[in-house]
């Protein structure tokens, strides 16, 4: 990178008083959008209710499904109702937290109080926006404007000169690979902060566990936090796995105990009755970013170190909720995956940029990177290594992953070679070439799209996998970059969803994985939608799979010279080289008349809207408006 480029990166990523003011204004706007969510509701079915007793407390787990009458709210053009993990909802006058939402229609809520649901009734589901947490973020930013001398502020503003690492020697777990050991060592030696990049499947949770053990061994108190409940719980489970750390020195704090994994509940300090003496005795405290303020008594009461997991998916204000209560911090994440989720997708790019990404650009001397992945088939991992992480040195697949057994599927019941390619797990990448028209609609934030022929191909692929060769539906995920396509697939693939197949947008599936991932690309050219301008979308889509990636797309999407086209071209080449390419109409799925009729209706509505807009323009030109 040239010197001028370095200056540009610093200028773009570093904060300033002016940018903090703009962040505050953006958060005020976010509050308005969040409050709008309360004006819409869904009707849902209750599928099951289970209880779990931990100590003297009982927690209730409810599985729900969106009713057919409410599906239109999931797929509507403007302000669709979004169910997402970590969001809170009100149902039957009770507040529950969504802890599982791998499919757009099926989700799990957890409640602290007894739930009396009638399985024959439909219930209203309403969003509960986190307004109080946003207000806390605003107050932290306002305080940053007031203080003049503060280490954290100088780090954020890009004016900080990092302190040198100590030369201490540590006995690091021999099971860790070389990049993991190096990352742990630098984090232990830092006197201010460290940034650890962990691509998919590289063992971020493993090094978090090792860091917690080493920090506490030298008497330092650790706040372990993330924007995701599940990330914290996985990390705490790893910390306690080998019994090196006394579980009485570990606790979990949350906005509600119902959001916490069952195995971690015994460690939970009730969120509404925290005692100072209880927390002071704990060496490791797990908490979401939103609840971090509950873990300290005041501004002078700080943790020795805070570890923020999944930091690449948290906004700057969200991350600051934890950083202001620690003496030093470790950010662990991956800015090469999708950026933080915000209500206003049209906000400036620098606002959506995580603090992890900003500091990664400003302080290269604070970098560590995990470069060995243990999740994906080597050929799939090589795709993202060459296209996403190549400037960072790429990622490596160890021999143990290359030699692991591939799930066996008996293909003798299938006659056609094309069908055998789809289910053959020894072919890691398949490309199903797709014909069919892309239907576009205008939405509040831009455009969305669907392709009925792709939906029909996906349906046929699932028939082969689930019905013909009996692959476990729960090991399959179906993704698309477009919510309009996902809503269409929800209608068309309902029988497979009920069996456990996950159908969702790529954005909502980040953090999950499946043995088999099917991606419906919809568009014929990356230039058709600005959604393809960010190649991190493809990174997430590709890296969700362990054994097999099936892309359903027109090959024209790989024909141009932009970054997305190049990545799609490499996927297409890998599929052809491994014998996984299927020509157009190779599967010859039957037409789905129901979704095609819906498309016709949508097109009629769109044409009517265009006609009305043309008439309005004529009236304005003739000054009759």
- In tens, the pLDDT along 532-576 reads 989 999 999 999 999 999 999 999 999 988 999 999 999 999 999
Using CA atoms, how far apart are residues 305 and 286, in angstroms rounded to an integer?
12
Where does a domain end: 326, 345, 369?
A: 369
Report yes or no on 446 lying in a domain: yes
Q: Where are the beta strands (DSSP E) in 190-295?
A: 193-197, 222-226, 250-253, 268-269, 284-288
Shared-domain flag, residues 320 and 397: no
Report yes or no on 9 lying in a domain: no
Shared-domain flag, residues 351 and 493: no
Shared-domain flag, residues 219 and 118: no
Using CA atoms, how far apart are residues 80 and 486, in angstroms rounded to an integer?
12
Shared-domain flag, residues 178 and 272: yes
Report yes or no on 540 lying in a domain: yes
Residue 523 has pLDDT above 50, yes or no: yes
Local structure of 308: helix, strand or coil: strand
How sure is the predictor about 3, in pLDDT bands with cuts at 50, 70 and 90? very low
Q: How many CA atoms lie within 13 A of 509 on its CB side?
A: 32
Which helix or strand (DSSP H or E) is residue 210 part of? helix 204-217
Where does a domain end: 129, 148, 182?
A: 129
Per-residue pLDDT, 83? 82
Local structure of 409: helix, strand or coil: coil
Residue 251 has pLDDT above 70, yes or no: yes
* CA angle (316 as vertex; 310, 317 as ends), nearest 5: 110
Per-residue pLDDT, 2? 39
Region 331-337 average pLDDT: 96
Using CA atoms, how far apart are residues 1 and 211, in angstroms rounded to an integer?
32
Shared-domain flag, residues 92 and 151: no
Q: Residue 279 sits in a domain of what CATH number?
A: 3.40.50.300
Shared-domain flag, residues 136 and 213: yes
Q: Maximum Cα–Cα distance for the chain, whole Å?
A: 81
Per-residue pLDDT, 297? 65
Environment class of 10 (CB within 10 Å of its CB; exposed 0-12, middle 13-18, buried 19+) = middle
pLDDT in tens, 188-247: 999 999 999 999 999 999 999 999 999 999 999 999 999 888 789 889 999 998 888 999
Per-residue pLDDT, 259? 53
Report yes or no on 102 lying in a domain: yes
Region 407-416 average pLDDT: 86
Shared-domain flag, residues 319 and 202: yes
Which helix or strand (DSSP H or E) is residue 299 part of? none
Write down the residue that tokens 């947490």 correspond to.
Answer: 133
Report yes or no on 13 lying in a domain: no
Per-residue pLDDT, 440? 86
Where does a domain end: 319, 334, 369?
A: 369
Query: How far apart, in Å, are the Cα atoms of 523 and each of 233, 413, 488?
Result: 38, 34, 15
Using CA atoms, how far apart are residues 612 and 615, in angstroms rounded to an integer?
5
Shared-domain flag, residues 173 and 303: yes
pLDDT in tens, 256-302: 544 566 677 677 775 545 556 678 889 999 999 988 988 886 555 78
Using CA atoms, how far apart are residues 309 and 234, in angstroms rounded to an integer?
11
Report yes or no on 5 lying in a domain: no
Shared-domain flag, residues 316 and 388: no
pLDDT in tens, 53-99: 765 667 788 999 988 888 766 655 455 677 877 788 999 889 888 87
Per-residue pLDDT, 609? 61
Per-residue pLDDT, 468? 95
Residue 376 has pLDDT above 80, yes or no: yes
Per-residue pLDDT, 484? 87
What is the value of pTM for the model shown? 0.85
Per-residue pLDDT, 7? 40
Where in the sequence is the domain holding 428, given as residue range(s)? 378-622
Per-residue pLDDT, 8? 42
Q: Residue 106 sits in a domain of what CATH number?
A: 2.40.30.20
The region, left, alpha or beta by phi > 0 then psi within -120 to 50, assigned to residue 394 is left
pLDDT above 70 as % of the chain: 88
Share the mean pLDDT of the chain: 87
Torsion, Cα 184 189 191 192, to 10 degrees, reads -20
Report yes or no on 335 lying in a domain: yes
Shared-domain flag, residues 78 and 151: no
Q: Where are the beta strands (DSSP E) in 112-214?
A: 122-128, 193-197
pLDDT in tens, 467-480: 999 999 999 999 99
Per-residue pLDDT, 1? 37
Q: Residue 577 corresponds to which tokens in the numbers above?
A: 């080289």
pLDDT in tens, 594-620: 999 888 887 776 666 666 666 666 676
* CA angle (186 as vertex; 180, 190 as ends), nearest 5: 150
Per-residue pLDDT, 357? 96
Q: How many domains does the chain have?
A: 3
Shared-domain flag, residues 304 and 202: yes
Region 434-443 average pLDDT: 84
Report yes or no on 11 lying in a domain: no
Residue 303 has pLDDT above 80, yes or no: yes
The closest of 433, 427, 435, 493 to 460, measured between CA atoms, is 493
Shared-domain flag, residues 236 and 384: no
């Amino acid at each position: 990178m040239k010197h001028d480029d370095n200056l540009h990166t610093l200028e773009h990523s570093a904060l300033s008083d002016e940018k903090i003011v703009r962040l505050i204004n953006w958060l005020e706007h976010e509050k308005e959008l969040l409050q709008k969510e309360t004006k819409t509701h869904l009707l849902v079915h209750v599928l099951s209710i289970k209880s779990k007793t931990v100590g003297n407390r009982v927690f209730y787990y409810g599985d729900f499904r969106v009713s057919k009458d409410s599906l239109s709210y999931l797929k509507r053009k403007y302000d669709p109702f979004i169910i997402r993990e970590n969001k809170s909802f009100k149902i039957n006058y009770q507040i529950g937290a969504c802890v599982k939402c791998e499919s757009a229609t099926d989700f799990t809520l957890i409640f602290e109080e007894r739930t009396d649901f009638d399985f024959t009734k439909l219930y209203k589901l309403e969003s509960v926006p986190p307004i109080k947490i946003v207000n806390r973020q605003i107050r932290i930013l306002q305080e940053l404007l007031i203080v003049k001398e503060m280490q954290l502020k100088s780090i954020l503003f890009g004016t900080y000169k990092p302190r040198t690492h100590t030369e201490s020697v540590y006995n690091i777990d021999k099971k860790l690979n070389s990049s993991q050991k190096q990352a742990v060592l630098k984090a232990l030696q830092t006197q201010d902060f460290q940034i650890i990049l962990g691509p998919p499947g590289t063992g971020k949770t493993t090094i978090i566990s090792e860091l917690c053990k080493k920090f506490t061994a030298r008497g330092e108190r650790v706040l372990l936090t993330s924007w995701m409940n599940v990330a914290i719980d996985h990390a705490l489970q790893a910390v306690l796995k080998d019994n090196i750390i006394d579980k009485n020195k570990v606790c979990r704090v949350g906005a509600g105990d119902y959001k916490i994994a069952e195995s971690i509940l015994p460690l939970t300090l009730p969120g509404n009755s925290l005692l100072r003496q209880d927390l002071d005795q704990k060496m490791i405290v797990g908490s979401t970013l939103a609840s971090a303020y509950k873990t300290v008594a005041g501004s002078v009461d700080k943790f020795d170190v805070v570890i923020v997991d999944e930091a690449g998916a948290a906004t700057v204000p969200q991350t600051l909720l934890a950083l202001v209560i620690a003496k030093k911090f470790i950010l662990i994440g991956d800015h090469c995956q999708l950026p933080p989720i915000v209500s206003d997708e049209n906000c400036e790019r620098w606002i959506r940029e995580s603090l992890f990404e900003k500091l990664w650009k400003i302080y290269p001397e604070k970098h560590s990177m995990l470069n060995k992945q243990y999740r994906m088939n080597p050929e799939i991992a090589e795709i993202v290594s060459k296209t996403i992480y190549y400037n960072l040195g790429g990622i490596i697949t160890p021999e143990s992953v290359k030699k692991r057994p591939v799930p066996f599927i008996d293909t003798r019941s299938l006659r056609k070679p094309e069908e055998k390619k789809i289910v053959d797990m020894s072919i890691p990448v398949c490309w199903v070439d797709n014909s069919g028209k892309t239907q576009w609609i205008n939405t509040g934030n831009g455009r969305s799209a669907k392709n009925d022929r792709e939906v029909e191909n996906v349906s046929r692929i699932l028939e082969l996998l689930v019905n013909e060769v009996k692959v476990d539906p729960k090991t399959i995920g179906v993704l698309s970059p477009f919510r309009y396509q996902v809503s269409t697939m929800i209608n068309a693939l309902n029988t497979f969803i009920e069996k456990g197949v996950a159908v969702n947008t790529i954005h909502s599936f980040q953090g999950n994985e499946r043995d088999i991932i099917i991606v419906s690309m919809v568009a014929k050219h990356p230039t058709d939608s600005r959604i393809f301008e960010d190649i991190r979308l493809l990174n997430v889509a590709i890296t969700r799979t362990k054994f097999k990636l099936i892309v359903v797309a027109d090959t024209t999407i790989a024909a141009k010279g932009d970054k997305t086209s190049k990545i799609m071209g490499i996927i297409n080449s890998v599929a052809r080289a491994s014998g996984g390419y299927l020509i157009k109409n190779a599967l010859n799925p039957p037409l789905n008349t129901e979704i095609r009729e819906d498309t016709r209706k949508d097109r009629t509505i769109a044409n009517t809207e265009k006609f009305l807009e043309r008439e309005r323009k004529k009236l304005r030109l003739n000054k009759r408006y």
